[in-house]
Amino acid sequence: MFGKKIVCCALAGIVIVALSARVDAEEAFTKELAALRESLMKYQDVYAAVRDGYYSTVGCVHYTGDKMEGHADYPKGAMGIHFLKKELVGPEPDPMRPALLTYEPKDGKLHLVGVEWVVPLAGATKRPELFGQKFLGPMEGHEPIIPKEFVHYDLHAWLFKDNPLGMFAPTNPDVNCAGYDFDLLEHPTKLVTGP
């Protein structure tokens, strides 16, 4: 009985340390994230995003939370509808210019919820990092939207909608694709080897 209490206390301590580290990482970049959020405010108007060259991938991407060995871990939740500005995809991600904006369909409108940076594996010499966060991947492309041959790293930031899983989690359980005509339930993306 005493041993079980020690194990439970140790596990609780590990969880508290992990959550604290995640919050500290977000707080360390508060000013930078606030500046990024401010610079992207105009894209709350989806038409402004399109005028600036961000184009819709149409599908509202979400995941069941199922785990698959050798695949990225996507907790249950959604990413939303991605709007891509292809010329911002490259080996050196610009923290102030994300390649993707993500929108949630709600009440007949699209609401800006987050952003995403994408770095192709080709040309990458190391795992990319922004705001103290290592990118997820490398992984195959997210079919059917991105061909599986497009192996890449990516990082999300939920700048415009709070995420109980954290600012940089790949999915947000509070983003919803329900009722949207182009609801796209994806399977976890296959991970590959890389730097």
How would you write the pLDDT of the chain (195 residues) with one tens digit per residue? Answer: 444 444 344 434 433 434 444 445 567 789 999 999 999 999 999 999 999 999 999 999 999 999 999 999 999 999 999 999 999 999 999 999 999 999 999 999 999 999 999 999 998 999 999 999 999 999 999 988 899 999 999 999 999 999 999 999 999 999 999 999 999 999 999 999 988
- State the pLDDT at residue 25: 57
Q: Taking Cα atoms as reference points, which of 182, 169, 140 lies closest to residue 56?
A: 182
Strands of the chain (E only): list them: 55-63, 77-84, 100-106, 109-120, 129-130, 133-134, 136-139, 152-157, 183-185
Q: Which amino acid is at 34?
A: A
* Cα–Cα–Cα angle for 157, 80, 140, rounded to 5 degrees: 75
- State the pLDDT at residue 12: 40
DSSP 148: T
Distance, CA of 195 to CA of 175 (rounded, Å): 32
- State the pLDDT at residue 4: 46
- State the pLDDT at residue 194: 86
DSSP 77: E
* 127 token code pair: 């795992």
Task: Assess contact for 111 and 104: CB atoms under 8 A.
Answer: yes
- State the pLDDT at residue 15: 39
Distance, CA of 22 to CA of 20 (rounded, Å): 5
- State the pLDDT at residue 26: 63
Distance, CA of 43 to CA of 88 (rounded, Å): 16
* Cα–Cα–Cα angle for 101, 139, 186, rounded to 5 degrees: 65
Q: Taking Cα atoms as reference points, which of 63, 98, 54, 61 lies closest to residue 81?
A: 61
Q: Give pTM, 2 decimals.
A: 0.85
